[in-house]
Amino acid sequence: QKEVEQNSGPLSVPEGAIASLNCTYSDRGSQSFFWYRQYSGKSPELIMSIYSNGDKEDGRFTAQLNKASQYVSLLIRDSQPSDSATYLCAVIQGAQKLVFGQGTRLTINP
């Protein structure tokens, strides 16, 4: 079992719709969770961090965390073509290492 798992996609969503990205992790003791966005040819950019169960909203982005189910998700409302990118889920695990999922490639169709 991979430490952090994401569906690699591609996930295709029409412009204006809600994009839903999911991530599961293996270490039940993990306490810190992050979502990064990576455009092709660029480095990852931190867009959300979440540490407590529940929802955290920032503009069009909402991160959701369920530690009991070892599940974290990212919702993007009113999706725009500029949201087309690879989204990386990252989890602080074990000896304080940041472990990344393989990423989900998201395409927003105009």
Partner 1 sequence: KAGVTQTPRYLIKTRGQQVTLSCSPISGHRSVSWYQQTPGQGLQFLFEYFSETQRNKGNFPGRFSGRQFSNSRSEMNVSTLELGDSALYLCASSLSTGVNEQFFGPGTRLTVL
Residue 64 CB, nearest approach to partner 1 (Å): 18
Candidate residues 15, 16, 39, 46; the one interacting with partner 1 per rule CB under 8 A: 46
> What is the distance between the alpha carbons of residues 94 and 98, in angstroms, rounded to a whole number?
9
| Residue from 44, 72, 79, 105 binding partner 1 (CB under 8 A) | 44
Binding to partner 1 (CB under 8 A): which residues in 60-89? 88
Buried (b) or exposed (e) across 67-82, using 16+ Cβ within 10 A?
beebebbbbbeebeee
Q: Is 31 in the site for partner 1 (CB under 8 A)?
A: yes
